[in-house]
C-alpha cells in the first residue's frame, strides 16, 4: 500500500456515497451542491444524516487544502461518545468498503482531527466543539493565515426529553442559550474572515425533530417547509408528500436576506430496502394505529405541538404581577416585633416546624405559626441547614440533627418568652412550645431523643403527606393557591425565598392530573416539602378557624 500520499477522492465518488437510497434522486448530493448558506437535514433516526454529512466533510478535507471544519454538539461527552467515534467509523467505512483509506492521514484527538499530509494545508482540522462552552469560540484561531472555516456543522441541537439526562427546564434554558449565541458562533467560524472565490461556506443543522418549540424549527425550518399549520397541527400535505416520496427537499435562495436555505427531510423509508426487514415494516405499520404520535416521530421524522405538553408555573401569576414584582396585596409581610405582639396577645395557637432531611441534597427547615383566626405566619426559612455546619464534619447526619434541635430550641425560647403565662400548656398541641414534622422515621426518632436529652419542649411527629390523608400533592397545590389568593399567609423577614420557590413549581398542561412535575426545577422541592410538612396540622384547622373568626366578627 502506498502511503506517500492519500488516495484521490473524486466528486463522482462523493455523489455515489451520498446516494444512500434505492431511489433515483440524490437529495444529499443536491444539498451539497447548493450555494445556500444554511443547510438543514432532518428526519427519522437511522437515516444517517450525520454519517453522510461527515463523509462530505472528509471529502473537503482531502480536496481543499485551506478547508477547516467545526462540528458542534451540546455537551463534551457528546464529542467523545458520538462525534469522534462517528468520524472514525466514516474513515473505516471509506477504507474498508471503498478503498479510500485516510486513517493514517488524520491525527484524531478529543478536540480535533488534524490533517497530516503536507499538501500545503498541513494541520488543517475538523474541530470538535461543545455548545456548553460556547464562549471558547471567541478565542478560536486557525494556525495558518491561509486556512478558512468552510463549514459549521451543528449536530443534534434538539434533544429528546425521554432520552436526555437533562430536565425539561434545563433543555429550555439550553435552547435559549443556543439562540442567543448562534450569531457569535457563526461570526467566529465561517464568517471570521473573507472566503476566497468559489470556496463554499455554510452552516449545517442536523437533527431529529423531537420538539417544534425550538428556534431552529420556528425561525428556519418552518419558513422553508411548513411542517405545521397556523394552528400548530401537522401539515398533512407535507406529511403525505414525505411518506409518498420518502423525502422532501425545498430550497429558498431568498431566505434571510438572500443568504438562502435548503431543507431536506427524510422519512424512515428513505434508506435502502435491504436495511429494513419485513418484521420492522409490520411493527411500524402497527405503531401507526397504536401510537400515532410515536409513529410520526419514528417514521415521518417530525413531531407536532402535542408531543410535549406546555409547562405552566401555576403559582407564578398568583404570587407575582406582570412586571415580576411580588403582589403586595396578596402576600403580606410582617415584622418580628409585630409577630411578637401577636404572641403577647395570645393570638397564636401553634408553632410548627417542617424538616426535609438531606445529606446529598438540601436539608431544609421551615417554621410556621398558626393564628386563631386561621392566618399562617412563616417565621423562619432555612434552605439548607448544612450551610451552618463545618464542611469537614465527619458524622454529617448527626450534625444536621443537632443543628435542627439547636434551631428549634432557639425559636422555642424566643416564642415562649413572648407568650402569656401557661398559654402553651393550655392552647398549644400536646402542650409543647412547638411540633416538628418530617417524613423520615429515623430522623424523627433521632430528633425526639435529642429533644429529650437537651430538654427541648418539642415533639417530632410523622408529616401528613398522602392523598389518603387529604394532603397529597394535588391537595397541597390547591391549598397553596387558596391561602395566597385569600391573603391567609404572612411572611417574617428573610423568608421570601419561599415565595420564589413556590412560583417555580411546574405542571404540564394537558396531563390528566396536572400534578406538579418535580423533575422540573427539582432543587426547589426540599424547601417546599419542608414548608408543606410544617403545615401538616395547619391545613386541617385553617378552614374551621376562619369560619369561627367570621362568626365572632358577626356576633354569632
What are the φ/ψ torsions at residue 5 (nearest 5 degrees)? -155, 155
**How far apart (Å, rounded) are the C-alpha atoms in residues 354 and 345?**
25
Q: 352: which residues sit within 8 A by CB, 6+ positions away? A: 367, 368, 369, 370, 434, 435, 436, 437, 534, 535, 536, 537, 538
Is 5 within 8 Å of 117 (Cβ atoms)?
Answer: yes
The predicted structure's pLDDT at residue 321: 80
Q: How many CB atoms lie within 10 A of CB 104?
A: 13
- Are residues 421 and 376 in contact, defined by beta-carbon separation less than 8 angstroms? no
Cell of residue 100, nine digits: 479510500
Architecture of domain 46-190+202-207: 3-Layer(aba) Sandwich (3.40)
84-98 vs 49-63: helix crossing angle, rounded to 10:
70
- The beta-strand segments (E) located in 156-277 are 202-207, 247-252, 261-266
pLDDT score, position 162: 57
Burial class of residue 207 (count of CB atoms within 10 Å of its CB; 0-12, 13-18, 19+): buried
**Locate cell 395566597: which residue?**
484
Are 326 and 499 in contact by the 8 Å Cβ rule? The answer is yes
pLDDT digits (tens, 9 = 90+) for 291-347: 776 777 778 777 655 444 467 888 988 998 876 788 877 789 999 999 999 999 999
Whole-angstrom distance, CA of residue 95 vs CA of residue 130: 28
DSSP 314: T
pLDDT in tens, the chain (556 residues): 445 899 999 999 999 999 988 899 999 999 999 999 999 999 877 777 999 999 999 999 999 999 999 999 987 778 888 899 999 999 999 999 999 999 999 999 999 999 999 999 999 999 998 876 655 456 577 889 999 999 999 998 988 765 666 656 667 778 888 888 899 889 889 998 898 999 999 999 999 887 888 899 999 999 999 998 887 778 889 988 998 999 999 999 999 999 999 999 999 889 888 888 888 888 877 877 777 767 777 787 776 554 444 678 889 889 988 767 888 777 899 999 999 999 999 999 999 999 999 777 899 999 999 999 999 999 999 999 999 999 888 899 999 999 999 999 999 999 999 999 999 999 999 999 999 999 999 999 999 999 999 999 999 999 999 999 999 999 999 999 999 999 999 999 999 999 999 999 988 776 567 888 887 788 899 999 999 999 999 999 998 999 888 888 787 6
Can you give the residue ranges of every domain in the chain?
46-190+202-207, 312-553
Residues 6+ apart with CB under 8 A from 474: 467, 513, 515
Q: Which helix (H) or strand (E) holds 30?
A: helix 27-33
- What confidence score (pLDDT) does residue 135 get? 54
Model pLDDT, residue 511: 57
Measure the CA–CA gap between 328 and 163, rounded to whole angstroms: 42
For residues 107 and 104, what is the distance between their CA atoms, to the nearest angstrom? 8
Write the DSSP symbol of residue 326: B
Q: Under a CB-based contact definition with an 8 Å cutoff, are residues 348 and 374 in contact?
A: no
Please give the model's pTM, rounded to 2 decimal places.
0.59
pLDDT of residue 212: 83
Burial of 4 (0-12, 13-18, 19+ CB in 10 A): exposed
pLDDT value of residue 306: 42
Cell digits for 458? 418539642
Specify the CATH number for 312-553; select among 3.30.70.890, 3.40.640.10, 3.30.360.10, 3.30.420.280: 3.30.420.280
Alpha helix segments (H runs only) across 64-196:
76-78, 84-98, 168-187
pLDDT at 551: 84
pLDDT tens for residues 406-419? Answer: 999 999 999 999 99
* Distance between CA atoms of residues 238 and 20, nearest Å: 22
**Contacting residues for 422 by C-beta, under 8 A, at least 6 apart:** none
For 21, the grid coordinates are 437510497
Q: Which candidate, 538, 137, 87, places its Cα nearest to that of 352?
A: 538
Task: Note the pLDDT of residue 130.
Answer: 84
Position 481 scores a pLDDT of 93
Q: Look at residue 146 in the predicted model and tell me its pLDDT.
A: 94
How many residues in the chain?
556
Cα angle 117-121-127, degrees, rounded to a multiple of 5: 90
Write the pLDDT tens digit of every residue in 166-202. 656 667 778 888 888 899 889 889 998 898 999 999 9
How much is the pLDDT for 448? 97
Q: In degrees rounded to 5, what are phi and psi of residue 261?
A: -145, 140
Q: What is the pLDDT of residue 166?
A: 65
Amino acid at each position: 500500500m502506498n502511503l506517500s500520499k492519500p488516495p484521490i477522492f473524486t466528486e463522482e465518488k462523493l455523489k455515489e456515497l451520498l446516494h444512500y437510497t434505492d431511489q433515483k434522486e440524490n437529495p444529499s448530493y443536491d444539498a451539497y451542491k447548493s450555494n445556500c448558506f444554511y443547510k438543514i437535514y432532518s428526519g427519522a433516526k437511522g437515516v444517517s444524516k450525520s454519517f453522510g454529512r461527515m463523509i462530505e466533510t472528509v471529502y473537503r478535507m482531502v480536496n481543499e487544502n485551506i478547508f477547516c471544519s467545526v462540528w458542534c454538539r451540546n455537551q463534551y461527552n457528546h464529542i467523545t461518545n458520538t462525534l469522534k467515534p462517528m468520524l472514525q467509523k466514516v474513515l473505516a467505512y471509506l477504507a474498508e468498503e471503498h478503498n479510500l483509506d485516510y486513517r493514517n492521514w488524520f491525527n484524531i484527538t478529543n478536540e480535533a482531527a488534524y490533517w497530516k499530509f503536507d499538501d500545503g494545508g498541513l494541520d488543517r482540522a475538523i474541530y470538535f466543539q461543545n455548545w456548553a462552552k460556547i464562549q471558547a469560540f471567541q478565542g478560536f484561531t486557525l494556525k495558518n493565515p491561509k486556512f478558512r472555516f468552510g463549514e459549521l456543522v451543528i449536530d443534534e441541537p434538539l434533544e429528546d426529553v425521554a432520552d436526555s439526562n437533562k430536565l425539561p427546564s434545563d433543555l429550555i434554558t439550553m435552547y435559549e442559550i443556543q439562540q442567543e449565541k448562534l450569531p457569535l458562533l457563526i461570526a467566529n467560524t465561517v464568517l471570521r474572515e473573507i472566503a476566497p472565490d468559489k470556496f463554499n461556506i455554510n452552516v449545517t443543522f442536523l437533527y431529529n425533530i423531537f420538539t417544534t418549540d425550538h428556534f431552529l424549527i420556528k425561525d428556519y425550518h418552518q419558513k422553508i417547509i411548513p411542517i405545521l399549520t397556523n394552528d400548530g397541527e401537522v401539515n398533512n400535505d407535507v406529511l403525505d408528500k414525505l411518506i409518498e416520496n420518502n423525502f422532501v427537499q425545498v430550497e429558498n435562495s431568498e431566505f434571510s436576506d438572500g443568504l438562502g436555505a435548503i431543507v431536506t427531510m427524510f422519512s424512515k423509508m428513505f434508506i435502502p430496502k435491504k436495511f429494513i426487514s419485513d418484521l420492522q415494516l409490520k411493527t411500524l405499520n402497527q405503531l401507526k394505529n397504536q401510537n400515532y404520535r410515536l409513529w410520526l416521530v419514528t417514521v415521518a421524522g417530525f413531531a407536532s405541538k402535542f408531543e410535549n405538553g406546555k409547562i405552566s408555573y401555576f403559582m407564578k401569576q398568583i404570587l407575582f404581577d406582570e412586571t415580576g414584582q411580588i403582589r403586595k396585596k396578596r402576600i403580606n409581610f410582617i415584622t418580628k416585633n409585630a409577630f411578637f405582639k401577636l404572641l403577647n396577645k395570645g393570638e397564636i395557637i401553634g408553632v410548627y416546624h417542617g424538616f426535609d432531611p438531606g445529606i446529598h441534597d438540601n436539608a431544609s427547615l421551615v417554621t410556621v405559626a398558626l393564628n386563631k383566626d386561621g392566618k399562617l405566619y412563616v417565621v423562619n426559612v432555612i434552605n439548607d441547614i448544612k450551610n451552618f455546619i463545618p464542611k469537614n464534619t465527619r458524622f454529617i447526619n448527626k450534625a444536621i440533627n443537632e443543628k435542627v434541635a439547636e434551631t428549634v430550641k432557639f425559636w422555642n425560647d424566643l416564642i415562649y418568652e413572648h407568650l402569656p403565662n401557661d398559654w402553651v400548656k393550655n392552647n398549644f398541641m400536646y402542650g409543647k412550645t412547638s411540633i416538628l414534622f418530617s417524613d423520615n422515621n429515623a430522623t424523627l426518632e433521632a430528633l425526639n431523643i435529642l429533644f429529650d436529652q437537651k430538654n427541648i419542649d418539642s415533639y417530632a411527629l410523622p408529616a401528613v403527606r398522602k392523598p389518603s390523608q387529604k394532603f397529597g400533592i394535588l391537595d397541597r397545590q390547591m391549598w397553596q393557591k387558596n391561602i395566597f389568593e385569600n391573603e391567609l399567609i404572612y411572611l417574617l423577614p428573610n423568608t421570601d425565598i419561599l415565595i420564589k420557590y413556590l412560583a417555580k413549581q411546574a405542571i404540564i398542561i394537558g396531563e390528566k392530573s396536572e400534578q406538579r412535575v418535580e423533575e422540573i426545577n427539582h432543587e426547589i422541592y426540599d424547601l417546599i416539602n419542608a414548608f408543606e410538612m410544617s403545615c401538616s396540622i395547619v391545613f386541617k384547622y385553617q378552614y374551621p378557624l376562619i369560619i369561627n373568626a367570621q362568626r365572632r366578627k358577626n356576633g354569632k
